[in-house]
Structure 1
Amino acid sequence: MGYHPRYLDSFLKTQHYLLHMDGPLPFDCRHYIAIMKLLKISEWSWSLAELVHAVVLLAHCHALASFVFGCGCEQEEGPVGRGLLKSSPPGNQSCRAPVQSLDSCMELDSLRERVQRIHVEMEGREEMRPLPDREEGEGVWDGNTDGEVTGAANLACYLQDPDFGYQDFARRDEEQTQVFRVQDYSWEDHGFSLVNRLYSDIGHLLDEKFRMVDGLQSSAMAKRQGCEPSVFKRGIWNYIHCMFGIRYDDYDYAEVNHLLERMLKVYIKTVTCYPEKTNPEMFDRFWKQFKHSEKVHVNLLILEARMQAELLYALQAITQYMVS
Structure 2
Amino acid sequence: MIICTKKMDYPLGTQCQRVQKQVMKVNAEKERASLWCMKALASRGCVDAVSQQMASHPQYLESFLRTQHYILHMDGPLPLQYRHYIAIMAAARHHCGYLVSLHSAQFLRVGGDPLWLQGLEAVPPRLQHLDQLNKVLAHQPWLTARSHIQALLKTGEQCWSLAELVQAVVLLAHCHSLCSFVFGSGTDPDPVPLPRAPNGTPPGYCLCDAANGNVSVPPPLTTPSEHTPRRRRSLDSSCEIVCLKERIKKSQEEKERRGERLLHTQTLQHTDVEDKEEMIYSADPSRFITDPDFGYQEFARREEEHFQVFRVQDYSWEDHGFSLVNRLYSDIGHLLDDRFRSVTALPSSHGPDLKRAIWNYIHCMLGIRYDDYDYGEVNQLLEKDLKLYIKSVACYPDATKTPLCPLPWAPLKPSERIHVNLLIMEARLQAELLYALRAITQYMIA
Fold conserved between structures, TM > 0.5: yes
The structure where helix makes up a greater share of residues is: 2
CA positional deviation for 1:30: 0.5
For residue 180 of structure 1, what is the aligned residue in structure 2?
310
- Aligned partners of 1:33, 1:93: CA distance in 2, in Å? 30
Cα 1:24–1:92 change in 2 (3 A) is closer
How many residue pairs match? The answer is: 256
Match of 2:194 among 64, 83, 87: 83
CA positional deviation for 1:162: 1.8
1:164 aligns with 2:294: yes
Task: Answer with 32-41 or 190-199: which moved more.
Answer: 32-41
Cα 1:251–1:92 change in 2 (3 A) is farther
For residue 273 of structure 2, what is the aligned residue in structure 1?
none
For residue 175 of structure 2, what is the aligned residue in structure 1?
61
The DSSP-based 3-state class of the residue aligned with 2:412 is coil
8 Å Cα contact 2:302/2:309 also seen in 1: no
Structure 1 segments, 4+ long, off by >4 Å, are 84-87, 89-95, 152-157, 170-173, 278-281
1:40 counterpart letter in structure 2: H
Structure 1 residues without counterparts, runs of 5 or longer: 96-151, 223-228
Match of 1:308 among 426, 430, 435: 430
For residue 146 of structure 1, what is the aligned residue in structure 2?
none
8 Å Cα contact 1:92/1:291 also seen in 2: no
Correspondences of 1:58-137 after superposition (within 5 Å): 58-75=172-189, 81-84=192-195
8 Å Cα contact 1:34/1:61 also seen in 2: yes
- Aligned partners of 1:159, 1:93: CA distance in 2, in Å? 33
1:24 aligns with 2:77: yes
CA positional deviation for 1:294: 0.4
For residue 378 of structure 2, what is the aligned residue in structure 1?
256
1:262 counterpart letter in structure 2: K
- Aligned partners of 2:288, 2:186: CA distance in 1, in Å? 27
- Aligned partners of 2:159, 2:428: CA distance in 1, in Å? 28
Match of 1:189 among 313, 319, 343: 319
1:6 aligns with 2:59: yes
2:290 counterpart letter in structure 1: Q
- Aligned partners of 1:307, 1:156: CA distance in 2, in Å? 23
1:40 aligns with 2:129: yes
Q: Identity percentage over the alignment?
A: 65
1:83 counterpart letter in structure 2: L
Structure 2 residues without counterparts, runs of 5 or longer: 1-53, 94-127, 131-150, 153-157, 196-201, 218-281
Cα 1:233–1:28 change in 2 (3 A) is same
The DSSP-based 3-state class of the residue aligned with 2:55 is coil
The DSSP-based 3-state class of the residue aligned with 2:292 is coil
TM-score (norm 1): 0.72
Cα 1:291–1:50 change in 2 (3 A) is same
CA RMSD of aligned residues (A): 3.0
8 Å Cα contact 1:76/1:83 also seen in 2: no
- Aligned partners of 1:86, 1:243: CA distance in 2, in Å? 35
The DSSP-based 3-state class of the residue aligned with 1:74 is coil
Cα 1:264–1:197 change in 2 (3 A) is same
CA positional deviation for 1:172: 8.9
